[in-house]
Structure 1
Amino acid sequence: MKIALVTDLHAEEDFTTKNGVSPWDNWKIILADIQAKGIKQVVFLGDIGSQAAHRQFFDALDQSKLDYKVILGNHDHFAEVVQSYKPATINDREEWYWSEENERFKSIYLDTSTEMISQLQLDWLKAEVQTEKPILLFIHHPILQTHTTPQLEFPLAGADQVKQVLLTHNRPVHVYCGHLHLDDYTTEDNISQTVTPSASIQIKRHSKKAEVENIGFAYRILDFSENKLCSEVIWFDRDQ
């Protein structure tokens, strides 16, 4: 089984348009490539774009016939997104988080749209990690420190509290996130963290403040085949 991870589209935002990026062209190319590779599932890791982008974003996913899940990033607002899409998994909540399981993994999806982890989510997470299965954690912000400029400048409040909860799990925890607009892999004890590059624009890893690195775009393929877990980034040039 393979899952496509896509993040940080930033459609209908000045951030992308002023840098000569067309998020909708990128979105079309990425979705077409996912379909061409025969991948059936997509997890979008947050930062859809402005509210004006929501309807077109979800329409494109619906038309793709892909099985999709969406979590929220710091450029998304729960009250706005639910006007276009509200999965049954969050119908009784005012934050966008849930979990599910299959025979191999427990998957947990968290909401960091407020740039923090609420006490409600943290308490819920403490209960959810009480499982004998390895965990796949899908979240917009990184939990482990990458020492990159984007994370230092735009951190997640409560990230260390989340890390401490994950460290109590006696099995591997695989964190998949975005937010940084770069490719990164970090580990600490039982936690491995994979950052997927942006579907719109990339940021310099180290600089005095966050600066654009290039306007190539990408998504990640997560591969569960043959009892192993690995991934690769699919890159596209700006002119493709």
Structure 2
Amino acid sequence: MLIAQLSDCHITIPEEDFAKLYNPADKLREAARHVNNSVNRPDLVFLTGDLVNTAKAEEYEVLRGILPEFEMPVYLLPGNHDDCTLLREMFPDHDYLPTDGKLNYVVEGWPLKFICLDTNIHGKPQGHLGHEQLNWLDQELTRETDRPVVIFMHHPPFKTGLTSMDEMGLLDMDDFAEVISRHKNIKRVLCGHLHRSIQKLIGGTLVQVCPSTSHQIRLLLAENNELGTTFEPPEYLLHYWTEKDGLVTHNDYVKDYKVAWTLKGEM
């Protein structure tokens, strides 16, 4: 199976300066067109947070108009730019979202079990899970110890060297790492938030960060605390699962490149 992970689309209304600078809605529409027509067409799509830019109802209305353009199921996760209460209200047809409390849920019916976590702290850039969510995660992981699991969440559970972004990181990353270290059936932890493709091994599991469909964060490491964005190409992750070889992840750009040549048959 193929799973497309798109992240940090930061949808806003067309009149905003942010929209004029980045064109996030048009880029998400192009991403939908790309995945629909890709030779590697995914079975389902996860949007891992920062769905909109300033958590306004008008922004979620724009997003509501774009999501039907995806021709496969789409699952939404909140990021620090989202309002969880408003997200729930604006997408009542997404009945996998809990009607109250944190927006944690499980997606069943596939070879993999997908566990989605809510790291949102209302009105703050940092992320947090807390004991209740971590206990819920631990129970879900224990429920089927032989079944492969993928965890989706917005905030990555590690320091990246992007100092300005690390200050907006997951506050209880050590507690999360301790929980997942106890479970060997986790095949990947998949995150957003950082607007770059980044990987790190945490608690024995590979954690991967998805780039943005809108704009990328400038690569400034170590002591450089400046925060900047770049016009690097919109990008997403494509996760390829087979029973034989497990989960393999590829980066794909939201652009149709010309094919130089192809060769069929034996190499």
TM-score, normalised to structure 2, is: 0.80
Matched, 1:217 2:234: yes
In the other structure, the counterpart of 1:42 is 45
Identity value in percent: 23
Contact 1:221 1:231 in 2 (8 A): yes
Contact 1:150–1:203 (CA under 8 A) maintained in structure 2: no
Give the alignment partner of residue 86 of structure 2, picking from 75, 80, 91. Answer: 80
Larger radius of gyration: 2
- The aligned counterpart of 2:131 is 119
Evaluate the alpha carbon distance shift between residue 16 and residue 75 of structure 1 in structure 2; reply closer, same or farther with a 3 A threshold. same
CA distance in 2, matches of 1:144, 1:134: 22
Selected match of 1:162 from 169, 173, 176: 176
CA contact (8 A) 2:78 2:119 kept: yes
Aligned to 2:261: none
Q: CA RMSD in A?
A: 2.2
Partner of 1:182: 196
Contact between 2:34 and 2:254, CA under 8 Å: does it hold in 1?
no
Partner of 1:24: 25
Whether the aligned pair in 2 keeps the contact of 1:111 and 1:139 (CA below 8 Å) is: yes
> What secondary structure is seen at the aligned counterpart in 1 of 2:195?
coil
CA distance in 2, matches of 1:24, 1:159: 32
Offset, 1:4: 0.9
The one-letter code matched in structure 2 to 1:5 is Q
Rounded to whole Å, the distance in 1 between the matches of 2:203 and 2:131 is: 24
Instruction: Check conservation: 1:166, 1:173, Cα contact below 8 A.
Output: no
Q: Secondary structure at the match of 2:89?
A: coil
What residue identity is the alignment partner of 2:80? N
Residue type of the alignment partner of 2:63: F
Q: Deviations over 1:211-237 (max 9, x none)?
A: 113343111111114633112112247
Classify the secondary structure of the residue corresponding to 2:196: coil
Residue in structure 2 matched with residue 137 of structure 1 by the alignment? 151
* Alignment partner, residue 249 of structure 2: 231
Task: Tell me the secondary structure at the aligned position of residue 90 of structure 1.
Answer: coil
User: Is 1:16–1:200's contact at 8 Å kept on the other side of the alignment?
Assistant: no
Query: What secondary structure sits across from 2:96 in the alignment?
Result: helix
Tell me which residue corresponds to 1:149.
163
Q: Distance in 2 between matches of 1:15 and 1:199?
A: 18
What's 1:96 paired with?
A: 103
Please tell me whether the aligned partners of residues 240 and 247 of structure 2 are also in contact (alpha carbons under 8 angstroms): yes
Partner Cα separation in structure 2 for residue 53 and residue 226 of structure 1? 40
C-alpha contact 2:36 2:71 (8 A) present in aligned 1: no
Cα distance in 1, alignment partners of residues 103 and 187 from structure 2? 20
Structure 1: unaligned runs, 5 residues or longer: none
The CA distance in 2 between the partners of 1:155 and 1:186, in whole Å, is 15
Structure 2: 5+ residue stretches without partners: 122-126, 256-267
Q: Which amino acid aligns with 2:227?
A: A
How far apart are the structure 2 equivalents of 1:168 and 1:151?
Answer: 28
> Does the aligned pair in 2 maintain the 1:4–1:39 contact within 8 Å?
yes
With normalisation by structure 1, the TM-score equals 0.88
The 3-state SS of whatever aligns with 1:88 is coil
State which drifts further: 174-183 or 152-161. Answer: 152-161
**Cα distance, 1:25–1:90 mapped onto 2, change above 3 Å:** closer
2: distance between equivalents of 1:79 and 1:15?
26
CA separation of 1:150 and 1:234: change in aligned 2, threshold 3 A: farther
Conserved 8 A contact 2:165-2:194: yes
- Note if contact 1:16-1:201 (Cα within 8 Å) is conserved in structure 2: no
CA contact (8 A) 2:197 2:211 kept: yes
Does the 8 Å CA contact 2:115/2:150 hold for their aligned counterparts?
yes
- Worse overlay, 33-42 or 228-237: 228-237
